[in-house]
Amino acid sequence: MKRLKDHDPEVYSLIEKETERQNNGMELIASENFVSKAVMEAMGSSLTNKYAEGLPGKRYYGGCKYVDIVEDLARDRAKILYNADWVNVQPHSGATANAAVYLTFLKPGETLLGLDLSHGGHLTHGSPVNFSGITYNAQFYGVSKETGRLDMNIIRDKAKKIKPKMISIGASAYPRDFDYEAFRNIADEVGAFLWMDMAHTAGPIATKLLNNPLPYAHVVSTTTHKTLRGPRGGMLLIGRDAENTLGKVAPKSGRVKMWSELLDSAVFPGTQGGPLMHVIAAKAVALGEALQKDFTTYQEQVLKNSKTMAARFMELGYDLVSGGTDNHLMLVDLRNKGITGKEAEDALGRADLTVNKNMVPFDTQSPFVTSGIRVGTPAMTTRGMGPEEFTRIAELMDMVMTSHTSEDVIQKVRSEVHGMCERFPLYDFVTA
Ligand code: DSN
């Protein structure tokens, strides 16, 4: 970044500091990851200069012959990866991808049934402070108090009672896999659309380590920057057998094309202007990486590390929501440890262990305090860490959380964290 250094030393030095922060610390936020240098190069390319409103071959601007090919590459790679019939790679983020889903399938005031935010759901799944909860009649299902898991019988009863027009699946803090077939049966029973937001688990789903929602959901949305390890952005997909999937609920002919066209229009001009072609190029690169064999090895390692870390936490007396994890994250309920999520996040942060405080189901603390923390393995697995390191990270976190007022302990842990990070430098483990 020599040019930036000379041209704008102020911004350059802040980027340097942030890179150093990422390099020296343990990134354990479940929704973060480290992209390859190739993905970064694509994002920093001349494609940022190009306006390309519309779709490949149907643009509102001239000069799109190369960006058309780039966007087609991204769409084709995503189709192969997820066995999808239709893909739109233009959403700027997961939230805008979700906005397009609402615009396509619901009218203002109609009813959505989604996972409660405090039980692991997402703001865009009907929270009253989000456009989804403001515009639509959002109703919620939650996890069972006994198991910390979704109970399909309870969800079915709720759906039958409130008769939603759309049911959403997907979460930002749910450590278990979903039974998409059961959700689909419920959606069919009550005549609802079924939407899966797979933002958190797009990586393990792509590599078949978790169930694939595409054969069951009418539409799937995702971000591209979490477990999928691409640039910050969103994507929409419809499964290969979408014709059958959509047949029962399509308003006119039921043709798949109908729904994909509606979704395309909901992205642009419905909710967005010009697509970010440099980010779409980076999505193409990341999707190309995800099609390589070593991406499956990476995802396997993410899940193995997650299970190992969860087991160590439980040995250390921590209460994990649902008693463990199937995926890349765990939700640690700190109520038996006499520390709030906020206190834990702050103390761990001082030791350069970055996590986020998180509500746990049936939490009595406010969202600013919380009783839990969410911990994820994707980012440090990208740096090459394995079960041995994740076992030690759980122990280091325990040291901090049990002595969170002791600066001595925090500094001791911080120095071990730096030593471990030095052994797994950022980007040395990313080959592209
Ligand atoms: N903010 C993301 C997360 O951390 O899960 C969800 O959008």
Best mutation site among 31, 174, 221, 356 for ligand 1 pocket (most ligand atoms within 8 Å of CB): 31
Distance 31 CA to ligand 1 centre (A): 6
pLDDT number for residue 427 = 76
Cα of 172 from ligand 1 centre, angstroms: 6
Q: Does the annotation mark 51 as catalytic?
A: yes
- Domain limits, the chain: 42-290, 297-423
Q: Tokens at residue 215, please? A: 């054969």
Q: Are 228 and 210 in contact (CB under 8 A)?
A: no
Average pLDDT, 10 consecutive residues per value, the chain (432 residues): 94 94 96 97 98 98 98 98 96 98 97 96 97 98 97 98 98 98 96 96 98 95 98 95 57 61 95 98 98 98 98 98 98 97 98 98 96 98 98 98 98 98 82 48
Catalytic residue among 223, 325, 370, 382: 223
Which residue in 77, 111, 71 sits closest to 91, CA to CA? Answer: 71
Q: Which residues 6+ apart lie within 8 Å of 258 measured at CB?
A: 246, 250, 252
Count, in order, helices (H) and strands (E) of the chain: 17, 15
CA–CA gap between residue 120 and residue 302 (Å, rounded): 20
What pLDDT, on a 0 to 100 scale, did the predictor assign at position 259?
Answer: 85
Q: Which two tokens stand for residue 238?
A: 């419809």
Our answer to whether residue 232 is catalytic in this structure is yes
- Residue 340's nearest CA partner among 376, 372, 375 is 372
The three-state secondary structure class of 224 is coil
Residue whose CA is at the smallest distance from ligand 1 atom 5: 172
User: How far apart, in whole angstroms, are the C-alpha atoms of residue 169 and residue 221?
Assistant: 10
Query: Which CATH architecture best describes the domain 42-290?
Result: 3-Layer(aba) Sandwich (3.40)
Q: Measured in angstroms, how far is the CA atom of residue 169 from the centroid of ligand 1?
A: 15
Separation in Å, CA 250 to CA 104, 140, 257, 327: 11, 24, 11, 33
pLDDT score for 240: 83
Would you say 171 and 122 are in contact if contact means Cβ atoms under 8 Å apart? yes
Active site residue 197: yes
For the domain bounded by 297-423, which CATH number is listed? 3.90.1150.10
What is the reported pLDDT for 389?
98
297-321 burial by CB neighbour count: b if 16+ within 10 A, else e?
ebbebbbebbbbbbbbbbeeebbbb
Q: Which amino acid, residue 100?
A: A
User: Atom 2, ligand 1: which residue's CA is nearest?
Assistant: 31
Q: Ligand 1 center to residue 226 CA distance, Å?
A: 9
Q: What are the φ and ψ backbone dihedral angles of 16, each rounded to 5 degrees?
A: -60, -45
Residue nearest ligand 1's atom 3 by CA:
31
Distance between CA atoms of residues 85 and 189, nearest Å = 25
Q: What is the pTM of this model?
A: 0.95
Q: Give the H/E segment covering residue 138.
A: strand 137-141
Distance between CA 340 and CA 138 in Å, rounded? 29
Q: Any catalytic annotation for residue 226? A: yes
Rg (CA), the chain: 22
